[in-house]
């Protein structure tokens, strides 16, 4: 499976946030989107997830434009935003049941994605009482309900402790090894190491970046 992001552009009033964004990626890989705060990283992912509309461009998967086919996009694409897309008053279990049928949820908690994310440890906890790491793991678990082959993540481990960062990174490596395609925005060195290819958004333009582990060089490029 191959995705193609083709000529995506987005303008807010007089500001051109994204212009002519293009890239291709194959399954089993992770693409890192870098850039300063406010450069358009989150806007790009929300467009690909169908949350915002772009002014022009397409998001193709094996030739099908997922921006024009909502049903296909829902089947193929999972999305984890920066914020918490969960119902605060409900427990982890009840949030999961909005996405999974009971039998599938129990199976995934035993030997599937929910087990890998450790969600069984806090099933009865309400979202309002969860740590940031619990919320993020639960958000990923909900996004994976349909086992999408493409996963969009907006700074997935930002502001989390080291244990949670490692837990989420471990699952994302498993997802990639299993043939999944990850597209993530990040400022985190641990997440940079997950990626196979890196890009920086500068002045609305997507620029390839050869990350070699030199963080200072990366900082100077942003």
Write the pLDDT tens digit of every residue in 125-170: 999 999 999 999 999 999 999 999 999 999 998 878 888 888 899 9
What are the sequence ranges of the domains in the chain?
Answer: 2-86+147-221
Q: Is residue 13 pLDDT above 90, yes or no?
A: no
What is the structure's pLDDT at 25? 95
The pLDDT, as a whole number, for residue 161 is: 85
The answer, yes or no, to whether residue 214 has pLDDT greater than 80, is: no
Which pair of structure tokens corresponds to residue 146?
């349909």
What pTM value is reported for the model? 0.92
> CA-to-CA distance for 45 and 59, rounded, in angstroms?
11
What is the Cα gyration radius of the chain?
A: 17
Q: Which fold has domain 2-86+147-221?
A: Rossmann fold (3.40.50)
Tell me how far apart the alpha carbons of residues 185 and 38 are, in angstroms, rounded to a whole number: 12
> Which has the higher per-residue pLDDT, 110 or 214?
110
pLDDT of residue 158: 85
The pLDDT tens digits of the residues spanning 57-113 come to 999 999 899 999 999 999 999 999 998 899 999 999 999 999 999 999 999 999 999
Are 46 and 82 in contact by the 8 Å Cβ rule? The answer is no
Question: Which backbone phi and psi does 62 adopt, to 5 degrees?
Answer: 50, 40
The answer to whether 88 touches 125, Cβ cutoff 8 Å, is no
Residue 212 predicted with pLDDT over 80: no
Please give the Cα distance from 155 to 157 (Å, whole number): 6
Segment 171-208, tens digit of pLDDT: 999 999 999 999 999 888 888 889 999 999 999 999 99
User: Which one-letter DSSP state was computed for residue 94?
Assistant: H
Q: What pLDDT sits at residue 122?
A: 97
**pLDDT tens digits for range 47-58:** 999 999 999 999
């Amino acid at each position: 499976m191959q995705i193609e992001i083709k000529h995506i552009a987005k303008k807010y009033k007089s500001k051109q946030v994204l212009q002519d964004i293009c890239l291709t990626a194959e399954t089993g890989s992770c693409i890192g989107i870098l850039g300063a705060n406010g450069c358009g990283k989150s806007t790009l992912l929300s467009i690909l997830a169908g949350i915002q509309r772009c002014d022009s461009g397409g998001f193709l998967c094996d030739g099908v434009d997922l921006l024009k086919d909502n049903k296909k996009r829902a089947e193929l694409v999972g999305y984890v935003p920066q914020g918490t897309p969960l119902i605060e008053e409900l427990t982890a279990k009840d949030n999961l049941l909005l996405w999974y049928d009971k039998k599938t949820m129990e199976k995934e908690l035993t030997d599937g994605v929910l087990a890998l994310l450790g969600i069984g440890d806090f099933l009865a906890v309400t979202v309002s009482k969860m740590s940031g790491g619990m919320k993020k793991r639960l958000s990923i678990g909900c996004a994976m309900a349909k086992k999408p082959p493409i996963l969009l993540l907006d700074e997935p481990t930002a502001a989390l402790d080291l244990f949670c960062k490692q837990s989420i990174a471990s699952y994302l490596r498993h997802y990639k090894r299993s043939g999944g395609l990850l597209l993530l925005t990040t400022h985190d060195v641990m997440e940079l190491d997950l990626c196979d290819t890196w890009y920086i958004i500068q002045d609305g333009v997507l620029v390839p970046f050869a990350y070699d582990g030199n963080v200072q060089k990366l900082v100077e490029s942003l």
